[in-house]
Amino acid sequence: MNDIRSTDRKVIVVGGGIGGLAAALALARQGIRVELLEQAEKIGEIGAGIQLGANAFAALDALGVGEAARKRSVFTDYLMMMDAIDATEVAKVDVGEPYRKRFGNPYAVIHRVDIHLSILEAVQVHPLIQFRTATQVRALEQDESGVVVIDQHGERHRADAVVGCDGVKSAIRQALLGDEPRVTGHVVYRAVVDVADMPADLQINAPVVWAGPNCHLVHYPLRGGEQYNLVVTFHSREQEVWGVRDGSKEEVLSYFQGIHPRPHQMLDRPSSWRRWATADRDPVERWSFGRATILGDAAHPMTQYLAQGACQALEDAVTLGAAVQATDGDFTAAFALYEKVRIPRTARVLYSAREMGRLYHARGVERLVRNSLWVGRTQEQFYDALQWLHGWRAEDCLGGAR
């Protein structure tokens, strides 16, 4: 619903990833003009998959793009964890009909290009959003009347407020907080392969995690099952620096010795060997300073072990829009309200993801404990444990904080 009173107000959104597109849309839907600045020359996402919990669909629906995303998603039957050493089942959560009934939305997997495109289509046709590529924000200035961001050409972009959605190495966060990401030392290799190249016994309609000592593997279908997303993760022996570079099959194989032949066969499939050294950040008590705030990975980069980074960015965006509406376009008040709700929630997800990573990579006796944790759990007990995370609802996004 557009609020006509706010159309004279303008916000700059920095970064055109999933978080930035969603934030731009959420603000424009409140009648705010948005200038969206992206450093890349071409708008897009990397060639990999992403998992979306029911909470992501609740957020996508609130942004008006839920159906576009559903059309491009694969709805999975289960979430599965297997022991990568002896190939026994550790946990299996039914995310079919009973999950949908409980949470009101599906669990799905989708190509990152497709989820990005589902939001981008709405951004591109929105009359209040101006999208500029090849524009890298380098600096931020603000005073009581507004903000100015300065790009790589020295051009000054003015607005009433700014939202930094510029990822793990956010320039806006640097200007506001000046803190450093925490390099985890965990390295990820990702690949998308055609179904013909996927071993028949691994063609399972589920995100399957093969949990091994200091390493794990994940696979799930994409694009109607015509492709499969493969991810391998390990604790690196090297001193890592956050970022992407070329790796090698030999490096990967050296970390997956002693793994059962069933998951091990995945390691022969990819033809490209790009490696990502991952990072998160310790949660902080403030994201907003006057007319500037941060969102998505700029605010709370987290390890991928709960598959929630992008889901949380989508929740952030919906909450930001609701906060702007609740404060009648007073951005300083809106950003304070937004962070009051979002900091504790995203910090809980971040800490939980670290704990889940410990379970994924357990060895020795910890592995035995991990494998015994969920024995005999009913589906209802799994759903109860997921309620706080997957049960998020857009209509309650401000909670009692208003």
Ligand X SMILES: Cc1cc2nc3c(=O)[nH]c(=O)nc-3n(C[C@H](O)[C@H](O)[C@H](O)COP(=O)(O)OP(=O)(O)OC[C@H]3O[C@@H](n4cnc5c(N)ncnc54)[C@H](O)[C@@H]3O)c2cc1C
| 263 touches ligand X (CB under 6 A) | no
Nearest distance in Å: CB 360, ligand X: 12
- Binding ligand X (rule: CB under 6 A), the pick from 307, 317, 318, 343 is 307
Residue 304 interacting with ligand X (CB under 6 A): yes
Which residue number, 167 or 329, has a Cβ lying nearer to ligand X?
167
From 24-32, 59-67, 236-244, 300-308, span contacting ligand X (CB under 6 A):
300-308
Structure letter (DSSP) for residue 304:
G
Please list, residue by residue across 344-382, b when 16 or more beta carbons sit within 10 angstroms of its beta carbon and e when fewer do.
ebbbebbebbeebbebbbbeeeebeebbeebeeeeeeeb
For the chain, first and last CA: distance in Å? 20
CA distances from 46 to 95, 112, 116, 310, 335 (A): 26, 7, 10, 13, 30
If the CB atoms of residues 278 and 371 are measured against ligand X, the closer one turns out to be 278
Between 31 and 176, CB nearer to ligand X: 176
- 17 counts as binding ligand X under rule CB under 6 A: yes
Under rule CB under 6 A, residue 137 binds ligand X: yes
Tokens matching residue 67: 């159906």
The helix or strand, by DSSP H or E, that contains position 191, with its residue range, turns out to be strand 182-194
| Residues identified as active-site | 220
Position among 106, 213, 221, 296 found at the interface with ligand X (CB under 6 A): 296
What is the 8-class DSSP label of residue 194? E
Does 171 engage in binding with ligand X (CB under 6 A)? yes
Residue with smaller CB distance to ligand X, 31 or 111: 111
Site string for ligand X, 182-221 (x = CB under 6 A): ------x---------------------------------
Minimum CB–partner distance for residue 23 and ligand X (Å):
8
Pick 113 or 310: Cβ nearer ligand X: 310
Q: Judged by CB under 6 A, which of 278, 288, 293, 319 binds ligand X? A: 278
**C-alpha 218 chain-centroid distance:** 16
Q: Which of 259, 294, 313, 336 binds ligand X (CB under 6 A)?
A: 313
Q: How far is the CB of 167 from ligand X (least distance, A)?
A: 3
Helix (H, G, I), strand (E, B) or coil at 96: coil
Interface with ligand X (CB under 6 A), residue total 32
Site residues for ligand X, window 22-81 (CB under 6 A)? Answer: 37-40, 50-51
CA–CA–CA angle 151, 157, 160 (5° rounding) = 135
6 forms part of the interface with ligand X (CB under 6 A):
no
CB 87 within 8 A of CB 262: yes
Residue 135 CB, shortest distance to ligand X, in Å, is 6
What is the C-alpha to C-alpha distance for residues 102 and 97, in angstroms, rounded to an integer?
9
Q: How far is the CB of 159 from ligand X (least distance, A)?
A: 14
Cβ partners under 8 Å of residue 255, min gap 6: 214, 215, 234, 235
Strand pairing of 208-212 and 78-83?
parallel
Kindly state the tokens that stand for 70: 């559903």
Q: Is 369 in the site for ligand X (CB under 6 A)?
A: no
**Phi, then psi, of 48 in degrees rounded to 5:** -160, 170
Residue 71: CB atoms within 10 A of its CB come to 10
State the binding string over 338-367 for ligand X (x if CB under 6 A, else -): ------------------------------
Return residues touching ligand X (CB under 6 A).
14-20, 37-40, 50-51, 136-137, 165-167, 171, 188, 231, 276, 278, 296-297, 304, 307-311, 313
